Structure 1
């Protein structure tokens, strides 16, 4: 057997520890949720070393047991993640309503897997090994697949000397419960109509802090060696919660994001300094106000649409996602601090960059950059870029 082949040992479903009255009701989706139906599942995971001096079988069994128990508790608070998507279709008028059914679902999926590889096999290569994609469930799935797939899936993969926990962020103590009440503009909701009757009309599948973003944008543009007149952009995922008036709670559960974009030509971007590029991005951020957020929502209500990944990512631009503000290494599973973070197949496009908190702390940032081989090689030969990375 190929040592890099991941073996599934067991699968089961985890349900909320107890069922609340609230979870018995349909969970309606907002504009920001519905536009994401054609976007791939988020796939993030943490790699841990197995503690020395422990009985391996007892260690894994204890980790699996604690994870299942804590997941069951977490699902009480985040009960929509134990549900499945459901669709109500009407012909006259032509309507397509998608919501979360929290009752008719087996729960969140929990997978125990194993692979005959070591931690060094994962962290030592210059580029992330393809086998890491097998550490995640929902390979190449999009959110609309939540009709038949779990909305949340946890996969625990044993390595020879380590453990990889994918989507494993469910056992933190809930000190601030999520706000599950959905926000809808006045006079709309809770069911928002998608003007389609067939899923093929709305779904397509794609196979295949400002200064930092500006630095990455300039570096990648230089590595791509565009002609000066080539139009290039940098998109930033931006949180709408604090920008609405009145603001949504920071604990608002669900999607409340959009993207903002700065645009220029490759020649202008590289002719000006880092501060100029950062200023362009700053203007895009500060101009994203309540007016822009509501304008987007109202425009969607007038003419609903679904994001198509092929339209969001273009080979002349950079898309910055995730954030070093997210406490990725704050998860505690009894295995100590994670060695590193890795992601799955989802959202791997030319120019996609994810920023994570650096493992060593102190304000450091880890970047996951997706580029074709020629551009990646040029980036690695860029002395200015390499002088600030390790």
Structure 2
């Protein structure tokens, strides 16, 4: 007897959404600073929320097609308003080429674009089918548009794509946003703003809603390099860029309660005789140690741990928290496997804390100056090696506060983008209260060893 074919997502409709109007200066090129241009070779950001349908939608006599039609209309209307405030997301990338010397200026063209993409799709699965397996089902990757696209593809692809996937008893809203246009802080500011507009329009607000936290769209450049900045392409831009295919990975979401994290923080600070090591630094130290142990590297092997650091408050003068663009740097800490595994949680956490404490305005400006002298882009296969762990995203982002008339989301999931051996993403726990969920990506054999690690699993809380 043959097994049934795997269920796949079916696309019902596909359109583009534009803002109701554009500001007068939107026809000017939006030039990109170094932190944006460095992202051209990595994938789009792909994050989304899973919502259960209201119980009435599951009643046999309920007119579900009419409900979905109305819901999609409300999403499109509020998305159009959101794009008024975040108008670069309705644009496309463009390149101005200079022949002598061969230099390319990549910018956002906000005036010549059909807008952001909006897709309605469906899948014959339930919310339980998505959440109950130990590992995130591969089908979740198809909840997102622009699969495997790199940010440079934004010359032809929309910079923002929304896919609404209808399940038997739920709805998944997945966003794919070009990472050269904004980072995780920018992504969730947009998601939160879209939700705020949706709720305001549900209460009878007009098409243009004033936001409680409007984005700051003016890009930051070093004072002596106001832009535009050029990239040293050859005749073929792809020679400067690179595409990345992930190896076979298992993806699992591990839950850590507030009490478990408080215990790790207390242990790390007690071992170091201090009080300044943070909860996230303590949790990251645990993950770094346990994944390294699961990999069975020799004691002399150097292993690294990177953390995505938000630079907005570290610049002098600081950028506003609502700065829309990229303002992140991966901070790297390194040690030999022998040192890391023999010296305890506090020792590793103190290394991470020192890297964060030393991340200053002077270092940020030095990074920008060096980049301008020798422009380069991040290549996932080179920037993040098999001996390292990378902690991305943040549990501080407001991810579960988004409401589109369906109540609170039951889970956050991500797409294929920017995943590799040792990629860890930190999300707020669903119940709040400083709990944290970690989405960990590892090869199957390494994941199995991590799941048998007593130090790691003792901190994991059943969700």
Same fold by TM-score greater than 0.5: yes
SS of the residue aligned with 2:215? coil
SS of the residue aligned with 2:427? strand
- Map Cα deviations across residues 313-343 of structure 1 (whole Å, 9 max, x no partner): 1111100000000011111111111110110
Deviation at 1:122, TM superposition (A): 0.5
Question: Does residue 1:231 correspond to 2:310, yes or no?
Answer: no
Aligned to 2:90: 82
RMSD: 1.3
SS of the residue aligned with 2:322? coil
Deviation at 1:112, TM superposition (A): 0.1
CA distance in 2, matches of 1:58, 1:339: 24
Question: Does residue 1:286 correspond to 2:324, yes or no?
Answer: no
- Map Cα deviations across residues 199-220 of structure 1 (whole Å, 9 max, x no partner): 1222110112211111111111
SS of the residue aligned with 1:43? strand
Match of 2:196 among 172, 182, 191: 172
Deviation at 1:189, TM superposition (A): 2.8
CA distance in 2, matches of 1:78, 1:352: 29
- After superposition, residues 111-150 of structure 1 pair within 5 angstroms as 111-150=119-158
Aligned to 1:153: 161
CA distance in 1, matches of 2:35, 2:139: 32
Match of 1:22 among 16, 21, 25: 25
Deviation at 1:18, TM superposition (A): 1.5
CA distance in 1, matches of 2:424, 2:43: 16
CA distance in 2, matches of 1:25, 1:123: 45
Question: Does residue 1:73 correspond to 2:81, yes or no?
Answer: yes
CA distance in 1, matches of 2:351, 2:404: 42
Question: Does residue 1:214 correspond to 2:285, yes or no?
Answer: yes
Deviation at 1:290, TM superposition (A): 0.7
Aligned to 2:70: 62
Gaps of 5+ in 1: none
Aligned to 2:314: 243
Deviation at 1:61, TM superposition (A): 1.8
Deviation at 1:362, TM superposition (A): 1.2
Deviation at 1:59, TM superposition (A): 2.6
SS of the residue aligned with 1:138? coil
Q: Which moved more, 1:181-190 or 1:310-319?
A: 181-190
- Map Cα deviations across residues 201-260 of structure 1 (whole Å, 9 max, x no partner): 221101122111111111111111211111101000011111111111111110011111
Whether the aligned pair in 2 keeps the contact of 1:108 and 1:152 (CA below 8 Å) is yes
- TM superposition score normalised by structure 2: 0.82
Deviation at 1:308, TM superposition (A): 1.0
CA distance in 2, matches of 1:262, 1:7: 44
Aligned to 2:35: 32
Deviation at 1:93, TM superposition (A): 2.0
CA distance in 1, matches of 2:409, 2:7: 21
Deviation at 1:3, TM superposition (A): 5.9
Q: Across the two proteins, how many residue pairs are aligned to each other?
A: 390
Deviation at 1:2, TM superposition (A): 4.5
CA distance in 2, matches of 1:240, 1:248: 8
Question: Does residue 1:109 correspond to 2:146, yes or no?
Answer: no
SS of the residue aligned with 2:409? coil
Question: Does residue 1:375 correspond to 2:446, yes or no?
Answer: yes
Whether the aligned pair in 2 keeps the contact of 1:67 and 1:171 (CA below 8 Å) is no
- Map Cα deviations across residues 170-194 of structure 1 (whole Å, 9 max, x no partner): 3334212111111111232331011
Question: Does residue 1:200 correspond to 2:268, yes or no?
Answer: no
- Map Cα deviations across residues 4-35 of structure 1 (whole Å, 9 max, x no partner): 11100000000012211122221111100000
Q: Which moved more, 1:161-170 or 1:8-17?
A: 161-170
Aligned to 1:268: 339
Match of 2:432 among 355, 361, 382: 361
SS of the residue aligned with 2:56? coil
CA distance in 2, matches of 1:364, 1:109: 34
Match of 1:181 among 203, 213, 218: 218
